[in-house]
Structure 1
Amino acid sequence: MLVPMVCKAIPNEFLSPVAIKMAPNQRQRRLLKLILMMNVTQMELNVMALLFTIHIKNAQQILFFMDNKKSRIVPKVSNYYSETIPRFNDRDFKSHFRLSKTTCEVLLVKIHETTTSLPQPGRQIDIEKRLLMFLWYIGNMESFRSMADRFDVSKGTLHVSVKYISNVLVTKIMPLVISWPTGDRLQKIADGFSETSRLEGIIGAIDGTHIEIKCPSKHKQAYFNRKKYPSLVLLAVCDSSLNFTYVFTGCPGSTHDAGVLRQTPLYRDAPGVIPPGKHIIGDSAFPLLAWLMKPFRDNGNLSRDQIKFNQALSSSRQVIERSFGFLKSRFRRLIKLDAVDMQVIVETILSGCTLHNICLANDDEMFDIEHDIGDDVQNGPEQVQGNQEGTDIRQTLMERL
């Protein structure tokens, strides 16, 4: 039968160093030290006094539970946005936000110019603070709870800010910085490729990369790629300077690169936007078309000219692999996105591509790039159909080497 007990409040001298030394046994001394180390409330002290009175064998376990409960209460960071960030030098700012101060200022001007008529959602927050919260989000793997504490906002406000900035980047800024080349720009890109390759007429390199995501609740199997993790495929074309000229994402990870390509507006519009004599290059996962060159399939009996062509094509298409490597190294959230909202996931990926181009335009280089970041996922063989026109053009290019 449990007997109710009343315990008087513990006086401060009970927790003094002298009192700890005078404790009758080692176990009680250890418990008193634990109490002294914890910033406990008076009510919790009374509970502890009760533990000493009735000599509960599991007292230490209860104290551990109380201490663990306190450890989960993370205090918000005071004045991080208003005082700490302004004191960052250029190097510190870039290491945290993955953009230089100059690039961030350029981006902020672009956002101001394109959002003057757009109402901000939720609580009114300075647009610069929203941008910095988004840059921290896409550039780091920190949890939302920790980020919210860092910027002294609620998790809900942080979610709204991330969604707002990513939407602005995709709908307002991306069309300005990621566009298909035409005219003099197209010829300049072709000239850039010709400096590193003997192949004629290249205006872009195409490939797909996998962005790991939290598996959606519906159609789960469709999102698992060959390496057995859920992902979305980002299909992109880049120029000789690593700028993205076309990006498309949203297809589940099990989709083959050729299957993704067939769902893009680029596939539909290519004959009209890629002039005769010009083409993009891809790996063996893509179809051989008049505007898309791929290597000869190596069955062990390639001719010397075919091997030479494959080597030239491979060296030229390395730019897209480097672009993906730079993208994921700079914006590390794209290594694994744990968001649930598919629109947020897609817009975060496209926002990263947009920021990538803005950084290149402002000569904003990263010095901690990991060149080997990639997925190397091939979803198995697919019957990739080409056409005779593509075969003839490839043969001509090979003969001109």
Structure 2
Amino acid sequence: MKAAVFRKAIEDEEEEEEEEVCNVFDGEVDSQTQTTSYHDTKTNLKGFFTSLLSMEEHGQEARKRSRTKSEEENGDINRKKSRAVASESSHVTGSEPVNQQRRLWVKDRSRAWWEERSRSDYPEEDFRRAFRMSKSTFELICDELNSAVAKEDTALRNAIPVRQRVAPLRLVSKKFGLGISTCHKLVLEVCKAIKEVLMPKYLQWPDDESLRNIRETYESISGIPNVVGSMYTTHIPIIAPKISVASYFNKRHTERNQKTSYSITIQAVVNPRGVFTDLCIGWPGSMPDDKVLEKSLLYQRANNGGLLKGLWVAGGAGHPLLDWVLVPYTQQNLTWTQHAFNEKMSEVQRVAKEAFGRLKGRWACLQKRTEVKLQDLPTVLGACCVLHNICEIREEKMEAELMVEVVDDEVLPENALRSVDAMKARDNISHNLLHHGLAGTSFL
């Protein structure tokens, strides 16, 4: 069952506003384009006629000299002048010699960096350091995406190979001998292909057998039974959008970092291996965790479809206590049993936080404000999560220094306790943890 949720970056009424603004902007661009095109046409015609006059002047000068010199010298001069005129006209008009293979507007950039790392004998550790994954994992991704992103050569230029199309997701464009605009286009093409081709395969809600293994693993970690996922909501910094800017303003990050911050959210459910099993991407950064949860497809399926009947998703202090969402105690003056429960819940929550730490460590673009358009961000962020899952499933090791400490302030929901049955169940779990020797004593 496919579990990823991809939504547009703003709500429906905001989308209508964005579409209206975009239409106005596009109209202005069209007007400017027409004006620019008109001036460019005049400039091009002027250059064209100038070229013809220049060629005519050279021809007259050549003929004048030919009358004063011998026939042999005249032939030599004509040949030299013909080459000079052809060369000059090529520079003036933008045309090129027939035997030249590349167009003038195709800039020749160095591909030495990429070609060196593409060699079969390139060291595995160096490749892993550059791409955040092994050669075998990289080749697997390229093979599965080949049919979706491969392009054919044209008369103007050779197509960029699949391996080189996939790689810019990690590396800077200048290292590949590609232009910035080309790199942006390739990244978005590859991200869309990942969403369509790889996401259904590598980002799924677990089947019954997998759920049983997940429950056993989480219970061995925490002593809490029937937990099938650790849920966490993180923020990805963005440049201030042109519309609905207040909804993306992240007050908590701004106060902590003393720098104005805007963000969008990623809510994920994570299994014990650090693999994302459910995603909700794109809600504005001002939205608290409980509201993001309510907007997610997971919430609808769990409340209306019985997806998690008798099971728990372990949430944080910012989530409400529901029949299927288990959260720590948040009131003051906790009892020993409540402290014991919170300690074990933090161990489950750590699984999700560390998974996001590896996600942001692998793809450093998630740590800083991105220039990707707001409407394209869910696709790009979803692709990063899918690639993260592939690395986690294949047990790709990650250097400790690359790990990112994830800090996201959790705001307590206004209505934190929404299920009487869940309150009783949480109290029973807390009692069992303490009185059956399953809880630690660090809270003492």
Q: Answer yes or no: same fold by TM over 0.5.
A: yes
1:361 and 2:361 equivalent?
A: no
CA contact (8 A) 2:149 2:162 kept: no
Q: Distance in 1 between the 2:209 and 2:297 partners?
A: 23
Q: Number of residue pairs matched?
A: 316
CA 1:394/1:342 → structure 2, altered by over 3 Å: closer, same or farther?
same
Q: Which stretch of structure 1 is more off in the superposition, 288-297 or 337-346?
A: 337-346
* 1:181-222 Cα distance to aligned partner (Å, 9 max, x none): 121011011111111111110000101111111111111121
Aligned to 1:110: 144
Aligned residue type for 1:311: E
SS at match of 1:365: coil
Q: Distance in 1 between the 2:245 and 2:277 partners?
A: 31
Aligned to 1:130: 165
CA 1:120/1:392 → structure 2, altered by over 3 Å: closer, same or farther?
farther
1:288 and 2:321 equivalent?
A: yes
CA 1:295/1:84 → structure 2, altered by over 3 Å: closer, same or farther?
closer
Aligned residue type for 1:89: P
Q: Which stretch of structure 1 is more off in the superposition, 209-218 or 118-127?
A: 118-127
Q: Distance in 2 between the 1:338 and 1:84 partners?
A: 26
CA 1:397/1:109 → structure 2, altered by over 3 Å: closer, same or farther?
same
Q: Distance in 1 between the 2:246 and 2:253 partners?
A: 12
Relative contact order (C-alpha < 8 Å, sep 6+): which is higher? 2
1:196 and 2:228 equivalent?
A: no
1:175 and 2:210 equivalent?
A: no
Aligned to 2:425: 393
Aligned to 1:227: 253
Computed over aligned residues only, the root mean square deviation of the Cα atoms, in angstroms, reads 2.5
Q: Which one of the candidate residues 146, 166, 173 is aligned to 2:191?
A: 166
Aligned residue type for 1:316: V
SS at match of 1:317: helix
Aligned to 2:384: 352
Aligned residue type for 1:363: E
- Identity of counterpart residues, as a percentage? 26
* 1:288-320 Cα distance to aligned partner (Å, 9 max, x none): 1110001112312x2222221111211222100
Aligned residue type for 1:234: I
Aligned to 2:76: none
CA contact (8 A) 1:211 1:232 kept: yes
CA 1:369/1:313 → structure 2, altered by over 3 Å: closer, same or farther?
same
The Cα shift of 1:277 comes to 2.5
Aligned residue type for 2:208: G
The Cα shift of 1:119 comes to 8.8
CA contact (8 A) 1:180 1:245 kept: yes
Q: Distance in 2 between the 1:184 and 1:114 partners?
A: 32
Matches within 5 A, 1:1-400: 76-86=109-119, 88-112=122-146, 124-136=159-171, 142=172, 147=173, 149-225=174-250, 226-228=252-254, 229-271=261-303, 272=305, 274-300=307-333, 302-378=334-410, 382-384=414-416, 386-400=418-432
Q: Distance in 2 between the 1:388 and 1:119 partners?
A: 61
CA 1:120/1:156 → structure 2, altered by over 3 Å: closer, same or farther?
farther
CA contact (8 A) 1:281 1:292 kept: yes
Aligned residue type for 2:212: Q
CA 1:336/1:221 → structure 2, altered by over 3 Å: closer, same or farther?
same
Q: Distance in 2 between the 1:380 and 1:201 partners?
A: 24
CA contact (8 A) 1:235 1:249 kept: yes
Aligned to 2:31: none
Q: Distance in 1 between the 2:323 and 2:413 partners?
A: 22
Aligned to 1:28: none
Q: Distance in 2 between the 1:119 and 1:83 partners?
A: 24
SS at match of 2:170: helix
SS at match of 1:235: strand
CA contact (8 A) 2:288 2:410 kept: yes
Q: Distance in 1 between the 2:306 and 2:142 partners?
A: 32
